C-alpha cells in the first residue's frame, strides 16, 4: 500500500473525513490499519510529519491536502448545497490530481456507505445491538470487500428460513464463503451480564424477520422465539471444519466456570468424608477431585474405591451423592427423581453409569431452561454455517443420540449436534 492509498483509507475511517494528527482517535485508527499491514507505525507517523501538517481555517490541524475537504464544507447561512455547487467549488479550488482522485473515491463511496449506515442504524435500534458490534460489522464489510454486495442485498433483504440447511443458502447476492468468514469473525459480546453470540447479532442484521430479544431467548424469528446454540471457535474439533461446540444449556441460577469456581471440590470432600472409609481410601478418593477430568467421571473412580472398602453400602453412596446434587442444582427439584432423572438407576454394585447420568441431567436442564426462557425451539449452528432447528419434544429427546455431550466441567453440559459432523 502506497502512502496515498494509506491516507485515503485513513481518511475514510475518520469521523471528519480527513485525519488529524493531534486527534488521538485518528491516530488509533491509523495504528490499527498499520498493524493489519504489519508496518511499524513510527515510520509512517514520521513520514506524515515530513509531508507537513497545518491548520484549517478554523484552526484545526489536518493532513496537508485534505483539510477543508468538501465533506466538511457546511452550507452558508443555511442555504442548500447542490451538486452544481460542489462542481463549482472543485473548479475554484487548487487541488492536485491525486487529491481529486481521493475526493472522487469518497464521493463514489457515499452512494453505498450512506444507505448502509442508515440500514445498520435502524437494525441497531430494532435489536438493541451494541455500537461496537455495528462498527465491527462495518469494518468486516470493508475488509472482506463485500460492501457493494451488501448494498445490493439491503435493497431487498430476505426472511430467515429456519428449515434451511445453511444460512448462506438464503443470501445469493453475497458470496457464501465471505458470509461464512463474516460469521466467524463476529465475536461474542457482553451486555450487562448477558452473553450475546455472533449468530444473534449477524442474523438480526441480515434478515428482515429477525430481531434480537431484549430478555428471554435469543431471537424473534417471525412469531417464534428461538434459542441459538452455536460456537464459532470449535477448537476442540479444529480438525473438523464443519464442527462446533454448541455451548451450554442451563437454567438461571446454575454455575458456569471452573470446578473450583462452582465450589464442587468442597462439596465433594464433605461427601467423601461422610462415607466413613479408611483414612487411606478417603485420601485416595479426595486426590481424584484434583484430576483434570469431567466431574461425573471422577465419581466413577470415587465409587470404585468405595465398592472395595469394608463398609461399602450402595444406598449410602447414592444418598450422599444425591445431597451434593441437591446443593449444586438448588434451583431445580429433579434430584433424586425428576421427569428424566432417577439417581438410583445409574448405580450397580460395581459401577456408576456416568454417561446415562450426564444425558439425563442434560435433559432435565434443557427442560428447565426451556420452561424458564420460554423459547419455541433451539437452532444448532456450526462454524461452517450448517444449521438444524429443533422444536417440541425433539429439543430434549435427541440428547444422547443426535445431540451429544462434549463437556461437563462445571454445573452444566455443553451440547453438540452430531448431525453436523457427518
Q: What tens digit of pLDDT does each residue of 175-190 get?
A: 999 999 999 888 665 4
CA–CA separation, 201 and 217 (whole Å): 13
Cβ-defined contacts of 325-333 (< 8 Å, 24+): 327/267, 328/254, 328/255, 328/262, 328/264, 328/267, 328/411, 329/254, 329/361, 329/365, 329/411, 330/253, 331/251, 331/252, 331/253, 331/254, 331/368, 332/251, 332/364, 332/365, 332/368
Nearest of 53, 62, 56 to residue 17 by alpha carbon = 62
Backbone angles phi, psi at 34, to 5 degrees: -65, -40
C-alpha cell at 49: 510529519
Q: Whole-prediction pTM value?
A: 0.66
CA–CA separation, 412 and 422 (whole Å): 25
The residue extents of the domains of the chain are 3-74+85-95, 111-222, 240-422
What pLDDT, on the 0 to 100 scale, is given for residue 99? 80
CA–CA separation, 103 and 71 (whole Å): 9
Q: Which residues pair with 55 in a beta bridge?
A: 61
C-alpha cell at 309: 472398602
Q: What tens digit of pLDDT does each residue of 204-216 get?
A: 999 999 998 765 5
CA–CA separation, 394 and 408 (whole Å): 22
Question: Apex CA 411: angle with CA 410 and CA 417, to 5°?
Answer: 85
3-state SS, residue 245? coil
Nearest of 151, 213, 184, 215 to residue 381 by alpha carbon = 184
Contact 221, 237 (CB under 8 A): no
Residues of the chain with pLDDT under 70: 1-9, 12, 15-18, 21-22, 38-79, 105, 108-109, 187-196, 214-217, 231-265, 420-422
CA–CA separation, 403 and 247 (whole Å): 12
Cβ-based neighbour number of residue 169 at 10 Å: 13
What pLDDT, on the 0 to 100 scale, is given for residue 162? 95
DSSP state for residue 15 in the 8-state scheme: S
Amino acid at each position: 500500500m502506497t502512502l496515498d492509498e494509506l491516507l485515503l483509507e485513513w481518511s475514510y475511517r475518520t469521523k471528519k473525513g480527513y485525519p488529524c494528527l493531534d486527534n488521538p482517535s485518528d491516530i488509533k485508527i491509523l495504528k490499527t490499519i498499520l498493524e493489519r499491514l504489519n508496518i511499524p507505525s513510527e515510520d509512517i507517523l514520521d513520514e506524515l510529519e515530513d509531508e507537513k501538517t497545518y491548520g484549517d481555517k478554523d484552526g484545526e490541524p489536518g493532513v496537508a491536502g485534505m483539510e477543508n475537504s468538501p465533506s466538511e464544507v457546511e452550507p452558508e447561512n443555511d442555504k442548500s448545497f447542490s451538486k452544481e455547487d460542489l462542481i463549482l467549488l472543485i473548479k475554484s479550488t487548487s487541488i492536485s490530481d491525486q487529491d481529486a482522485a481521493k475526493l472522487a473515491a469518497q464521493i463514489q463511496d457515499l452512494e453505498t456507505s450512506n444507505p448502509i449506515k442508515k440500514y445498520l442504524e435502524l437494525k441497531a435500534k430494532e435489536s438493541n445491538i451494541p455500537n461496537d458490534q455495528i462498527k465491527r460489522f462495518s469494518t468486516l464489510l470493508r475488509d472482506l470487500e463485500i460492501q457493494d454486495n451488501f448494498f445490493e442485498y439491503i435493497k431487498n433483504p430476505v426472511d430467515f428460513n429456519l428449515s434451511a440447511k445453511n444460512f448462506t443458502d438464503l443470501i445469493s447476492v453475497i458470496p457464501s464463503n465471505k458470509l461464512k468468514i463474516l460469521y466467524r469473525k463476529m465475536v461474542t459480546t457482553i451486555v450487562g451480564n448477558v452473553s450475546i453470540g455472533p449468530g444473534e447479532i449477524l442474523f438480526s442484521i441480515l434478515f428482515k424477520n429477525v430481531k434480537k430479544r431484549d430478555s428471554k431467548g435469543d431471537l424473534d424469528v417471525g412469531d417464534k422465539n428461538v434459542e441459538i446454540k452455536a460456537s464459532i471457535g470449535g477448537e476442540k474439533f479444529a480438525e473438523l471444519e464443519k464442527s462446533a461446540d454448541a455451548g451450554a444449556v442451563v437454567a438461571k441460577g446454575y454455575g458456569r466456570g471452573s470446578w473450583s469456581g462452582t465450589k464442587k471440590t468442597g462439596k465433594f470432600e464433605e461427601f467423601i468424608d461422610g462415607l466413613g472409609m479408611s483414612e487411606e481410601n478417603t485420601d485416595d478418593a479426595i486426590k481424584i477431585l484434583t484430576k483434570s477430568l469431567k466431574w461425573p467421571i471422577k465419581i466413577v473412580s470415587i465409587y470404585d474405591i468405595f465398592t472395595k472398602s469394608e463398609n461399602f453400602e450402595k444406598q449410602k453412596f447414592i444418598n450422599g451423592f444425591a445431597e451434593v446434587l441437591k446443593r449444586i442444582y438448588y434451583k431445580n427439584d429433579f434430584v433424586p427423581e425428576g421427569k428424566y432423572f432417577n439417581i438410583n438407576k445409574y448405580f450397580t454394585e460395581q459401577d456408576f453409569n456416568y454417561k446415562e447420568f450426564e444425558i439425563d441431567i442434560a435433559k432435565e436442564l434443557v427442560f428447565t431452561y426451556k420452561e424458564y426462557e420460554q423459547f419455541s425451539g433451539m437452532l444448532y449452528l456450526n462454524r461452517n454455517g450448517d444449521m438444524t432447528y429443533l422444536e417440541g419434544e425433539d429439543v430434549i429427546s435427541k440428547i444422547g443420540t443426535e445431540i451429544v455431550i462434549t463437556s461437563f466441567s462445571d454445573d452444566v453440559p455443553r451440547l453438540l449436534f452430531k448431525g453436523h459432523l457427518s
